[in-house]
Structure 1
Amino acid sequence: MKKPISRILLINDEKLILKAFIKGLNDAAKSMENSLGITFIGVTTAREALQVLEEDGDIQAVVVDDKLYTLQSERKGTRNLQMTALELVQKISRFRPELNIYILIAQEQQDDVVDALFSETVDGYFYREERDYRGMYRILNAQLQEKARTPFYDQLKSYVLMAKDAWHTPGHSSGDSLRDSPWISDFYEFIGEHIFRADLSVSVPMLDSLMEPTGVIAEAQKIAAEAFGARRTFFATNGTSTANKVIFQTLLAPGEKLLLDRNCHKSVHHGVVLSGAHPVYLDSSVNKKFSIYGPVPKQTLFNALEQHADAEALILTSCTYDGLRYDLSPIIEAAHAKGIKVIIDEAWYGFARFHPAFRPTALEAGADYATQSTHKVLSAFSQSSMIHVNDPDFNEHLFRENFNMHTSTSPQYSMIASLDVARKQATLEGYKLLSRTLELARELRLQINATGVFQVLELPELLPDEVKHDNIQLDPTKVTVDISRCGFTVEELIRELFEHYNIQVEKSTFNTLTLLLTIGTTRSKVSRLYDALMRIAREGRAPRRLYQISEVPHFTELRYLPRDAFYCEGELVPLLDEEDRVSKYLEGRVSADQITPYPPGIPVLVPGQTITNSIVHYLVSILRSQKHMEVHGIVFDGYLPCLRLLTATEEGSLRKLS
C-alpha cells in the first residue's frame, strides 16, 4: 500500500531563518508521529512560492511570513516589500483553495496582522521568535489529519471489524446467506466479503442516519461543505436525478414559475411534474453540423429574466455533457437582481473546485444550489451525489422534509462511505490528479489528430453560432472526436472499438464520439486508445455517408401545467394511420407524457405541450430511421406507436396557462 506524501511550504526571505525553520520542523517530523509523510520545504520569494504551488501537487499547507522583502540593490542595501501577506494569501486561496494557510508574525505586530487577515482563509498564526518547532509540527500535523479524516468511512470500517452478529436487516446477514450457497456463492466471491459486511441498516445507531444526521454523517457532510466551498452539503444516494427533484420541491410551490434550459437532464423535467411548477422552457443553442446541443444563449437568458421577473428559480446545466461551460457570473448576478434563485446542475463538473483550470465553480460564481454527480467524475460509487447549498434564505426544515420524501430509509452505506472518501481524495490529491488528467487530455488530442483521419473538435468547432460571443468555455476532460472520415458509421466504430480493442466510449452523435477523461485515466489507457484509432485510420477506408436526423423542433406552446397534464388518464392516439401514413389528427392536441429521443435526451414534448405537425414528422422520422435511437415516452399498441394525449373533456377541466 502506497504511503502518502505531504509537503508543507515555508515562505521567508531571510535565508538563515528559513533554513533554521526547515531543519527544525523536519527534525520534529522525523522524531514524532508522521503517518501522512509530512516534510518541509522552503522558498524566499512569493513568485517562487506560487510556482511551487503550481508544479507540486503534494503541497498540503503553506506557512507565509507576514512580510516578504526582496533586495532592490546590493550596493544601496535597500529593501522593497515583495507582496503583503494579505495579497499572497489571496493569490494562494484563489489558486488552490484546498490548502491550509498559516502566517508567521512578530509578536509586537500581532494585532495588525491578525486584523488584516481575519476575513481571509487563514488557519492559524505562529510567532517567529518562539521557534517551537515541535509545537508547530503538532498543529500542522493535527490540521492535516483533520482534513484527511473520513468520519463516516472510519466508523463504518470500525463497525465491520467489530464482527457483530447481525439480527437485523438486510436479509443476507453480512453475506452469510450467500457465502456457502452452491447457487450464488460465486456472486459473494466476485463482489467481495467486505461489501456485504458493510451493507448494514439504520439498526446500527453508531453509523448515524442519512435522514436526520447528527453524528458521523453530519461530520462528513460538514467537512465536504468546507472542501467544496458550500455553506451546507448533503449526501444523496439516489443520484443527482433525485437531488434536482428535492431542490425543486423545496423552492417551488404548485404554479410558481421556473426558468429552465430545455436541454436539462430529464430529472429536471420530472421535477417540474412532481413540484407542480410552471416551467418556462428556453431553447438551447444547436451545432447543426455535429448535432451537439449547447448552452442557452446569454441574451435569451437575460430576456427571459426580464420577461419573467416573477420566477422563483432558474436552473442551467454547466458544464454540458459535451463540456461546454456557461459564463455563469453575469447570469447569476442578473437572476439575483430579480430575486430569482439559481440552481446549477454540475453533474459532469463535480471536480472543478480542485484545480484553477476549471474554476470558477457554480458556487464560486454565486449559485444558490449546485448538484454534483460525484460518482461520474470523482471516486464515488454510482448513484452517489452531493447537494451543495449557498442560499442565504435556505429553509432547512422544508429541504429536509423533501429530502426525506425521496431518499430511502435503507440507504446503501457503502455509497455514503464512498462520498466521504471521494471528498478526501479530491481535497488531498485532487490538484495533482487533475493536473495529470489535463496533461493526458493534451496528449490525447495531439495523438488523435496525428491519425490524420480522426479529429478532436475544439471550442470554435463545438460552439453553436448563437453563443460564439457568450464567453463559453470548454472542459478539456470531455474530448469530442469527429469520425466522419474513418469509413465507419458511428455504430460500426463503437462496435469495432469494443469488440476488437476492448474500448468503451462515453457517448456519440451521428458523426462524433465523446471520450471522458477522469482522475482515473492512465497513460496506458491513452496509449491503447491511440493505437486503436491509428490502426483503424491506417485501414484507409473510404468515408461513408452518415445519416443525420433532423434537428429537434423548437418548443411549442405550453397549454397546461405539466403536473396537471401528466396526472390525467388521457387516451392513446397513433402516430400513423392504418396505411402507415403520418396521422393528420395530432395537430393541436396536447401531450400527457414527456417524449424524449435519446440521445440527445432533449424532450420533444413535455406534459401539457401542444403538438404540431413538425413534431409528429420528427418523431416518425426517428422511428423509421435505420440508426437505432431510444424514444422514451412513446407507447406501442402492438406494433403501432402511440402518444398519450389529453381528451377534450380533460382539457375542459384544466386551467389554461396565460
Structure 2
Amino acid sequence: MTKPATHVLVVSADETWRAAVVHGLNAAAARLDNPFGLQAIACACDGGALEAALATTAGADVQVVLMDHGARGSEDHGAPAVLTAQRIIEARPELSLYMLLEDDSDKLLVEQLASDAVDGYFFREEMDFNGWFRILAAELAEKADTPFYDALRDYVAQAKDSWHTPGHGGGDSFKNSPWVGDFYDFVGEEMLRADLSVSVPELDSLLHPTGVIAQSQKLAAKAFGARKTYFATNGTSTSNKVIFQTLLAPGDKLLLDRNCHKSVHHGVILSGAMPVYLDSSVNRHFGLFGPVPKATIAAAIAANPDAKVLILTSCTYDGLRYDLRPIIQTAHEAGIKVIVDEAWYGHARFHPELRPTALECGADYATQSTHKILSAFSQASMIHVNDPAFDEHLFRENFNMHASTSPQYNLIASLDVARKQAVMEGYRLLDRSLKFAHELRQKINATGAFRVLELDELLSDEVKADGIRLDPTKLTIDISASGWSADELRGELIGRYNIQVEKNTHNTLTLLLTIGTTRSKVSRLFDAMLRLAKDRRTPLTYARMPEAPRFTRLACLPRDAFYEAGEKLPVLDDNGRANPALNGRICCDQIVPYPPGIPVLVPGQVIEPAIIAYLARLLQTQKSIDLHGLATLEGELHLRVLSQAEQAALPGVC
C-alpha cells in the first residue's frame, strides 16, 4: 500500500521564525517515526494562508495548520492571526488547528474568537520541535484511526475456528464446491472471513455499542459536525423511519416535502403521524421535481403552529439545494424540529464549494447515504444528531426496532473507513471531482447535440428567487437536440460503451460524479458522447409529460387507511379510459411513478378526477415509467381503496 504524505502548514508573518520552525519540524520528521509522511511547509500570515490550505497536490494533503499568534509588539500579533485561522477552519473544518502563543494571556483572546476550532497550543519560545512533531503525529493518528475496521481486520487475522453463525463458516461452505466455488473466488476470502456474527464480543454491538463501534461513531460525529452519529446498515430509508418514530407519536402533525423519498412516506405510516404535504416545484419541460418554494414552507409553518417536525430533502436527486438556514430558523422559532434528508449530500462537509451542510445550518437531524458519493458500501448510512433535546434512550429503542440483530460487519467497517478517507483526503478527491464536473460541462456542451443544464434552467420560476444552489457533482444533460430518445441513448451508452448513467427522464440523462470518478472514466464518457453526437438524428418532438396533479386532501390518517383490507378497483374502465368509479374514493397505498419518484397518491388521500386521468395517461403513453403501488388482478392494474364500510368506520382528520 502507498504510504501517505501529509503537510503541516506553518503560518507566520515572521519569516525567520517561520523558517526555523519548518526546518526544525522536518528535521524531527527525518529522525523520528513518521508513518504518515508528515512534512512542514511554510506560508505567510495573509490571504495566502487560506489559498495554501485550499491548494491540492498529487503527492500530499494538508492535515494540520500551525498558526503563529505572533510575537508581542509585532503587526500580526493577536486578532489578525486568529481571524486567518477562523477563515481556514471555516473553509476546511476537518483540518487540525494548533496555535503558537507568546504567553497565557494570548490564549484568552484565542478562546474568545476561535476556541471551538483549536485542537491544541504550543508556546513560541519553546521551539521543542521533537515534542511538537510527536504531538502532531499523534493528532494525525487519532484522525486516521479506524477502531472498528482495525478490530475486525485483527480478529480475522487470528484465524479463529467458527462454531457460530453465519452458516458459511467464514466461506468454508463455498470453498472447493463444484457448484458455488466460483462465488468464493469472486467475493474473496477476506470478505467472507469478515462476515461474522454478534458472537464475537470484541467487535462490539451495533444495537448497544460500548466499544469499537462507539469509538468509530464518535470519530464520525466529529468529522461531520454532529453531537452524536449513528451507523445504519439498512440505508437512509430506515434511518428516516427511525427518526420519525423517535420524534412523532400517533396523531402528531408534521410538514413534509412531497418530493421526499418514499421512505419518508413509509415513516408517516409507521409513526401514525398526521402529514401536511407541501407541493414541490416542478420543471415541467424536463420533468424534474425541485425544492418546495420558500413561501410555501413559511406559510405552512405559520398555518400549523402545532406541527412537531419539518422534513426536507436537500440536495434533491438532481442536485438542487435549499437555502436552509432561514428555513430552519423560521421552523425553530415556531418550536418545530427539522430533519434534512441529505442522502445525496453526505460529502458536502469536506469541500467549501459544497457547504454549508444541513447541520451547519442548524438542522436537528440529518440522514446521509455515505455510500452514494463517499466510499462506504451500499446500504451503509449515517444518522447525525444535533437536537439539543435529544432523547437518546427513546432513539435507541426505535433504532433497535429497525436494525438487524445480525448486522453485516463489512458494512460497519466501510463506514469507519469512509469517514477516515473523507477526513484525510476527501477535500482533494472532491476538488478533483468538481474539476472533472466543470470539464465535462464544457466538453459535453461542445458536442452540439448534448447540453448540461445550468441551475437557472433546472429551476421553475416559482423558486428562482429562493437562494437555491446546485451540487456541481450532479450533471443533468438535455438530450433534446440529439434526436435520441432517453431510453435509446441509455441503451447505447451501456451496450456500446459500457457506461451506466444514474437515471433519465424523457429528455434528460443524469450523471453522478463521486470521489471514485477518474480521469479515464471522464475521457471514456466524453468519447462516447462525442460519437453519439456524430450519430445525431432529426430532433424529436417529445410528447409532453402528463402534469402531476397537486396534492388533494387527506380523509384519514395514512396509517389508518394503509392497514385496512380495502377493495381493488381497476384504474381503467372497460373502454380503456380513466375509471370514474375511483372518483371520491380513498386510497390505501402509496402510488409512485418512477421516474420521477414522487407519490401521486398516499394512503388516506382522496382521489379526484385529475389524479385518475393522470394515472390513465401514464399507463397509455409513458411505457418507460413504472407505477409502483398498483395491484395486478387478471392482467389489469388495480388501485386499492377503502371500502364504503371501512370509510364510514374510520375517524376523519381535523
Range into which the TM-score falls when normalised by the shorter chain: over 0.9
Cα distance, 1:626 vs structure 2: 4.9
1:295 aligns with 2:291: yes
Match of 1:641 in 2: 637
Cα distance, 1:254 vs structure 2: 0.3
Match of 1:546 in 2: 542
Match of 1:147 in 2: 143
1:55 aligns with 2:55: yes
Aligned partner letter, 2:35: S
Task: Confirm or deny: 8 A CA contact 1:485 1:543 kept in the other structure.
Answer: yes
TM-score by structure 1 length? 0.97
1:64 aligns with 2:64: no
Task: Confirm or deny: 8 A CA contact 2:70 2:102 kept in the other structure.
Answer: no
* 3-state SS of 1:177 partner: coil
1:316 aligns with 2:312: yes
For 1:431 and 1:541, the matched residues in 2 are separated by 41
Match of 2:567 in 1: 571
CA gap 1:300/1:217 in 2 versus in 1, 3 angstroms: same
Match of 1:75 in 2: none
For 1:69 and 1:320, the matched residues in 2 are separated by 51
Please say which of residues 219-228 and 571-580 is displaced more in the overlay. Answer: 571-580
Summarize deviations over 1:488-528 as a string: whole Å, max 9, x none.
11100000111011111000110000000011111111111
Task: Confirm or deny: 8 A CA contact 2:45 2:81 kept in the other structure.
Answer: no
Cα distance, 1:629 vs structure 2: 1.3
Cα distance, 1:575 vs structure 2: 1.5
Cα distance, 1:117 vs structure 2: 5.1
* 3-state SS of 1:125 partner: strand
Match of 1:7 in 2: 7
Aligned partner letter, 1:347: A
Superposed CA RMSD in Å reads 1.4
Aligned partner letter, 1:18: R
For 1:81 and 1:419, the matched residues in 2 are separated by 42
Cα distance, 1:14 vs structure 2: 1.9
Match of 1:394 in 2: 390
CA gap 1:640/1:70 in 2 versus in 1, 3 angstroms: farther
CA gap 1:191/1:423 in 2 versus in 1, 3 angstroms: same
Task: Confirm or deny: 8 A CA contact 1:11 1:42 kept in the other structure.
Answer: yes
For 1:198 and 1:617, the matched residues in 2 are separated by 53
Match of 1:87 in 2: 83
Please say which of residues 645-654 and 394-403 is displaced more in the overlay. Answer: 645-654
Q: In structure 1, which of residues 209, 218, 225 is the aligned counterpart of residue 221 of structure 2?
A: 225
Task: Confirm or deny: 8 A CA contact 2:26 2:39 kept in the other structure.
Answer: yes
Match of 2:208 in 1: 212
Q: In structure 2, which of residues 508, 511, 516 is the aligned counterpart of residue 515 of structure 1?
A: 511
Cα distance, 1:467 vs structure 2: 0.1
Cα distance, 1:44 vs structure 2: 2.2
CA gap 1:257/1:156 in 2 versus in 1, 3 angstroms: same
For 2:67 and 2:243, the matched residues in 1 are separated by 41
1:357 aligns with 2:356: no
Within a 5 Å distance, the mapping from 1:84-483 to structure 2 comes to 84-107=80-103, 109-113=105-109, 115-116=111-112, 119-483=115-479
* 3-state SS of 1:375 partner: coil
For 1:155 and 1:640, the matched residues in 2 are separated by 54
Cα distance, 1:639 vs structure 2: 1.5
Aligned partner letter, 2:321: R
Task: Confirm or deny: 8 A CA contact 2:13 2:76 kept in the other structure.
Answer: no
Aligned partner letter, 2:34: N
For 2:114 and 2:624, the matched residues in 1 are separated by 60
Cα distance, 1:83 vs structure 2: 5.2
Cα distance, 1:547 vs structure 2: 2.9
For 2:485 and 2:107, the matched residues in 1 are separated by 70
* 3-state SS of 1:168 partner: coil
For 2:295 and 2:42, the matched residues in 1 are separated by 49
* 3-state SS of 1:387 partner: strand
Summarize deviations over 1:23-60 as a string: whole Å, max 9, x none.
11111111111111100011122222111011136100
For 2:38 and 2:87, the matched residues in 1 are separated by 24
Summarize deviations over 1:313-341 as a string: whole Å, max 9, x none.
00000000000000000000000001000
Cα distance, 1:371 vs structure 2: 0.2
For 1:68 and 1:256, the matched residues in 2 are separated by 59
Aligned partner letter, 1:2: T
- Structure 2 unaligned runs (5+)? none
Task: Confirm or deny: 8 A CA contact 1:287 1:293 kept in the other structure.
Answer: yes
Task: Confirm or deny: 8 A CA contact 2:228 2:384 kept in the other structure.
Answer: yes
CA gap 1:453/1:471 in 2 versus in 1, 3 angstroms: same
CA gap 1:140/1:458 in 2 versus in 1, 3 angstroms: same
For 1:107 and 1:366, the matched residues in 2 are separated by 35
CA gap 1:645/1:63 in 2 versus in 1, 3 angstroms: same
Please say which of residues 279-288 and 115-124 is displaced more in the overlay. Answer: 115-124
For 1:457 and 1:117, the matched residues in 2 are separated by 42
Aligned partner letter, 1:579: N
Cα distance, 1:70 vs structure 2: 11
1:30 aligns with 2:26: no
For 1:507 and 1:83, the matched residues in 2 are separated by 50
For 1:584 and 1:116, the matched residues in 2 are separated by 69
Match of 1:533 in 2: 529
For 2:444 and 2:32, the matched residues in 1 are separated by 50
Aligned partner letter, 1:228: F
For 2:89 and 2:106, the matched residues in 1 are separated by 22
Cα distance, 1:614 vs structure 2: 1.1
* 3-state SS of 2:500 partner: coil
For 2:504 and 2:107, the matched residues in 1 are separated by 60
Aligned partner letter, 2:226: A
Please say which of residues 428-437 and 541-550 is displaced more in the overlay. Answer: 541-550
Match of 1:42 in 2: 42
- Structure 1 unaligned runs (5+)? 72-78
Cα distance, 1:110 vs structure 2: 5.0
For 1:613 and 1:572, the matched residues in 2 are separated by 17
Task: Confirm or deny: 8 A CA contact 2:484 2:536 kept in the other structure.
Answer: no
Summarize deviations over 1:269-304 as a string: whole Å, max 9, x none.
000000000000000000111111100000000000
CA gap 1:264/1:115 in 2 versus in 1, 3 angstroms: closer
Summarize deviations over 1:333-391 as a string: whole Å, max 9, x none.
00000100000000000000000000100000000000000011100000000000000
Cα distance, 1:80 vs structure 2: 6.4
Cα distance, 1:621 vs structure 2: 1.2
